[in-house]
Amino acid sequence: MDAYFSSLLLCIEPLNLMLILITAVVGLIFGAIPGLSAAIGISLLLPMTIGMQTTQAFCMLLSMYISGVSGSFIGATLIGIPGSSSSIATTFDAYPMTQKGQATRALTIGILASFFGTIASIIIATLLSPVIADLALQLGPWEYASLCFCAITLVAALSQGSMFKCLLATSIGLAMGCIGMDKVTGVARYTFGAHELDGGISVIAITLGIFACRQISMNYAKGNQELPEVKDANIKGIGISLIDITHHIGAIIRAFFIGLWVGFLPGMGSGVSNMIAYAHVKSSDKHPEEFGKGYPAGIWASEVSNNASIGGAIIPMIALGIPGDSITAMLLIGLMIHGLQPGPLMLTSNPDISYLIFAGVLVCCLLVLGMQLLTKRWFPLLLKIPYHYLYSTILIVAFIGAYGTANSMFSIYVMIGCCILGVIMGVGKLPISPFILAFILSKSLEEYFRKGVSYADGDYSAFFTRPISLIFILIAVISIIWPIVKKIRSTKKHQIVIENYK
């Protein structure tokens, strides 16, 4: 606990508080405006934090994370368009409530739900992460290789869309992770004579290209630069009472644990948890017919769950070195940039930074709550910022960030190449999450696999004879096979129904 309180004191130093507040304002803008997101904001921040102290860097990154995910309900509430996928379900009831003239109530529920979900999940993450890390220390390279394999396949299996496309995106990420110098043999792989690639593809260039430049390119190509006019919502006061919370406490608790669990699963995150929690709360509510008409329980369910996923995703990132979603994958990159190795040993070798993340989320959460409650009357102004200013600024920052990572134009070429790859993936409807998580985990997967084979004197059976390793492999195989079996069974059932009808 001493390390935690020391980290907490670091977070509330004046300079760090100022950085958190400034970044929270920017994160709120990225979260609120459709087409932008916390992921884009963090991708732009990463190159800026390279020369900063680790404490300051993570205060900014965490603030962008918390405010970006939390702020996505603003667009969903005021114009019926979610700022990101994390608040799709919020739109179903928040916007109808605004149309009824209850915008203040809808916004306040969104603010408080985001706060409850984040604060409770990070407390649980703070308590559980050391326990999981202690258990993970008992594992060998065989278990870690199987765990990485399991995480990658789960991301592909649980992602929405065609299984083939998810696996293809995963394969591309793994292939790109192999580019560079082999650490064992010292042989350059897949560099095609370009010595700039000997160190591998820059993760900064990939994140800037895939998240920032790709999103802007696709939005511009689709003509998504105009938002509906924000009506005068007359936002004043608090808008809710204690009864609004106590009356829906059951839905809040159920949505919280759904969000926490979904966040813990690799590759899922807030974009999935809000939809699952909304569907569950609706099916278990006494008045399911009220959902979609401006029912408060729908807002509570969506916003509590998507923010609870934050703590859920941080647990495997800190305790196992496995990112819970694409945003924590970028936080993982941030740790590596500052010379830290995420995983079970991090809590013992770098407790100050580990607990800084837990304490930082707590401080960011409290500051974002206060800022949102005090400034919510100005939320409509965020949705009136012209896109041509935003896009120009983001692109300039992206190009400067890419160049600054290696002081080379080659990094900019890589970023543009990744942007083109991202656009092609978008056109082909290949998901981004499996790609980026496979790229991040590819090096760990290869390292642990080769260590396991080496320690066993070339015997591959060790991966199957060790119980925990076998369990991870079985989970991975089942996660890939089960959707295929389910689809075949569904097709056969459909054919039987047609034949009986005939």
Chain segment 59-89, per-residue pLDDT in tens: 899 999 998 888 888 888 888 777 777 788 8
Please report the pLDDT score of residue 1 as a whole number. 66
Separation of alpha carbons 259 and 325, rounded Å = 13
**pLDDT over 70 (residue 230):** no
pLDDT at 116: 92
Find which of 181-190, 194-203, 271-280, 417-426 is predicted with most confidence, using mean pLDDT: 417-426
What pLDDT, on a 0 to 100 scale, did the predictor assign at position 420?
92
The average confidence (pLDDT) of the chain is: 82
Q: How confident is the model at residue 462 (pLDDT cuts 50, 70, 90)?
A: confident
Rounded to an integer, what distance in angstroms lies between the CA atom of residue 425 and that of residue 322? 24
In the prediction, which pLDDT does 233 show? 59
| Other residues' Cβ atoms within 10 Å of the Cβ of residue 284 | 12
Domain ranges for the chain, please list them: 2-221+248-501
Tell me if 308 sits within 8 A of 256, measured CB to CB.
yes
Q: What is the pLDDT of residue 344?
A: 77
Residue with tokens 């983001």: 394
Provide the pLDDT for residue 99: 82
Closest of 357, 271, 227 to residue 88, by C-alpha: 271
Mean pLDDT of the 143-170 span: 79
Bridge partner residues of 486 (DSSP): none
CA distances from 163 to 168, 439, 442 (A): 8, 18, 20
